[in-house]
Amino acid sequence: MATQLDNQREIVLDREPAKVAPPPMYQVVLLNDDYTPMEFVVVVLQRIFGKNEDEAARIMLKVHHEGRGVCGVYTRDIAATRVEMVRRMAQARQHPLQCIMEPAPDA
């Protein structure tokens, strides 16, 4: 019996290191509408996405002129949380601001 245990202890398994792929990334996008004030969009970008005033204004103008603007790129759960935060903040102030998430283009 002791020899079986000794033999089992000498067995060494070669393991290949596990290769973990990075999580898929999603971009959070604000969509333009004709009713939400520009100042509110800037506040959303500052509070929810941590943008400084200049960056928030740049993104807000992109949304205004091009119809959409990327607020940031995050993992799925974080992106979904940010979208929900925007939805709640807009709803609380009765603004129709829309925010979506979509797979980020490969960099």
Q: What is the pLDDT of residues 17-67, one digit of tens each?
A: 888 999 999 999 999 999 999 999 999 999 999 999 999 999 999 999 999
Average pLDDT, the chain: 91
- C-alpha to C-alpha distance for 19 and 54, rounded to whole angstroms: 40
Q: What share of the chain is helix, strand, coil (3-state, %, to 5)?
A: 50, 20, 30
Structure tokens at 98: 């829309």
Residue 78: Cβ within 10 Å count: 16
- C-alpha to C-alpha distance for 99 and 68, rounded to whole angstroms: 9
Whether the per-residue pLDDT at 3 is higher than 70: the answer is no
* Residue 33 DSSP one-character state: -
Give the contacts of 6 (CB within 8 A, at least 6 positions apart).
none
Q: pLDDT-based confidence at 8, cuts 50/70/90?
A: low
CB 93 within 8 A of CB 40: yes
Against a cut of 0.85, is the pTM above it? no
Q: Which fold has domain 36-103?
A: Ribosomal Protein L30; Chain: A, (3.30.1390)
C-alpha 13 chain-centroid distance: 40
